[in-house]
């Protein structure tokens, strides 16, 4: 079993409240590409401004709709990995664990995590581009020459229920996440480059309020220096080993 510094194990065992921020890296071992990995990341081949902004959708709704459709398929075929399951186990040992994710793939929920705070939406949901009401697939009006289904209430185009660049995060969810970080004894940043505010700043907020910070990432990030402890490697390997080391029984 991997050796972890005794201080981390003690901090975990004693923690009353743990806040965890996850990013695309935790789903990489499930076969879902990250955004910024140099070879395989979505943004190494495509530009976010062409696919993940309200302006991109206005310019070319079908391109955006089809790209999210492709990603929805990828997610549907994927399964949670050992990293997702380790966080379910961790929650069994901690009085209050708040799981905050930038991911839109539902893999935490499919692994069994409950009350997941989704900061960037969910790729499984579709909403009206005008009224922002979620519309179930059975109610979509079929696509016309534009190539994107329409809202049955107002006939506006439908879009993925994802927070795009330039859009505001869901306020209640973000405030809940921030409050959990302010109160946390330990904060984790797992599989995220920490480059997209305001989500990226949540672990920093936790540390500023006294939390012990742990980063789990295959690589160094520009926020690495903020954390007391950086565990380098794949989250699907590190997290199960860490949970086992902290709570052996």
84 carries an active-site annotation: no
Judged by CB under 6 A, which of 20, 24, 157, 180 binds ligand OAD?
Answer: 24
Question: Among residue numbers 213 through 232, which ones bind ligand OAD (CB under 6 A)?
Answer: 216-219, 221
Q: Please choose, from the candidates 193, 167, 160, 135, the residue with its C-alpha nearest in 3D space to the C-alpha of residue 73.
A: 160
Q: How far is the CB of 216 from ligand OAD (least distance, A)?
A: 6
Q: How many residues does the chain have?
A: 249
Q: In angstroms, what is the minimal distance from the CB of 170 to ligand OAD? A: 12
Question: What tokens were used for 95?
Answer: 């009085």
What sign does the dihedral 137-143-149-153 (CA atoms) show?
negative
Q: 217 and 191 in contact (C-beta within 8 Å)?
A: yes
d(CA 195, CA 67) in angstroms, rounded, equals: 22
158 binds ligand OAD (CB under 6 A): no
How far apart are the C-alpha atoms of 28 and 22, rounded to whole Å?
12
Query: Count residues contacting ligand OAD (CB under 6 A)?
Result: 28
Q: Using the rule CB under 6 A, is 35 a contact of ligand OAD?
A: yes
Residue nearest to ligand OAD (CB): 25
Which two structure tokens, joined as six digits, stand for 200?
């990226």
Answer for which of 15, 21, 23, 86 binds ligand OAD (CB under 6 A) is 23
Cα gap 125→140, rounded to integer Å: 12
Taking CB under 6 A as the rule, does residue 46 contact ligand OAD? no
Binding to ligand OAD by residue 80, rule CB under 6 A? no
CA–CA distance, 163 with 118 (Å, rounded to integer): 10
Under the criterion CB under 6 A, does residue 202 sit at the interface with ligand OAD? no
Complex with ligand OAD: residue 208 or 219, whichever CB lies closer = 219
Q: How far apart are CA 45 and CA 53, in angstroms?
A: 17
- DSSP letter for 166, please: T
Pairing of strands 117-118, 158-162: unpaired
Is residue 16 involved in binding ligand OAD (CB under 6 A)? no
Per CB under 6 A, which of residues 52..71 are in contact with ligand OAD?
A: 52
Work out which of 61, 160, 191, 203 binds ligand OAD, going by CB under 6 A: 191
Q: DSSP string of 52-110? A: SSHHHHHH-HHHHHHHHHHHHHHHHH----HHHHHHHHHHHHSSEEEEEE---S-HHHH
Among 25, 149, 203, 213, contact with ligand OAD (rule: CB under 6 A): 25
Q: Using the rule CB under 6 A, is 124 a contact of ligand OAD?
A: no
Residue among 84, 93, 108, 120 flagged as catalytic = 120
The least distance separating ligand OAD from the CB of residue 235, rounded to whole angstroms, comes to 4
Q: Which residues bind ligand OAD (CB under 6 A)?
A: 23-25, 28-29, 34-37, 41, 48, 52, 102, 120, 162-163, 191-193, 195-196, 216-219, 221, 234-235
Which residues are known to be catalytic?
A: 120
């Amino acid at each position: 079993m991997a050796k972890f510094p005794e201080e981390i194990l003690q901090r975990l065992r004693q923690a009353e409240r743990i806040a965890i921020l996850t990013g695309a890296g935790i789903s990489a071992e499930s076969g879902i590409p990250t955004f910024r990995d140099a070879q395989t990341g979505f943004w190494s081949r495509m530009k976010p401004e062409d696919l993940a902004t309200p302006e991109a959708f206005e310019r070319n709704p079908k391109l955006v709709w089809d790209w999210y459709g492709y990603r929805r398929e990828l997610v549907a075929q994927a399964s949670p990995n050992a990293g997702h399951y380790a966080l379910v186990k961790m929650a069994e040992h901690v009085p209050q664990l708040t799981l905050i994710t930038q991911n839109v793939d539902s893999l935490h929920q499919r692994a069994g995590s409950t009350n997941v705070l989704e900061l960037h939406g969910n790729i499984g949901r579709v909403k009206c581009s005008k009224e922002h009401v979620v519309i179930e697939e059975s109610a979509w009006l079929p696509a016309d020459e534009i190539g994107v289904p329409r809202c049955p209430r107002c006939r506006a185009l439908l879009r993925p229920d994802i927070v795009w660049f330039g859009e505001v995060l869901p306020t209640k969810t973000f405030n809940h996440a921030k409050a959990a970080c302010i109160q946390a004894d330990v904060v984790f940043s797992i599989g995220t480059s920490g480059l997209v505010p305001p989500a990226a700043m949540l672990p920093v907020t936790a540390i500023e309020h006294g939390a012990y910070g742990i980063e789990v990432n295959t690589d160094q990030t520009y926020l690495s220096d903020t954390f007391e402890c950086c565990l380098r490697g794949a989250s699907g390997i590190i997290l199960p080993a860490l949970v086992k080391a902290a709570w052996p029984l």
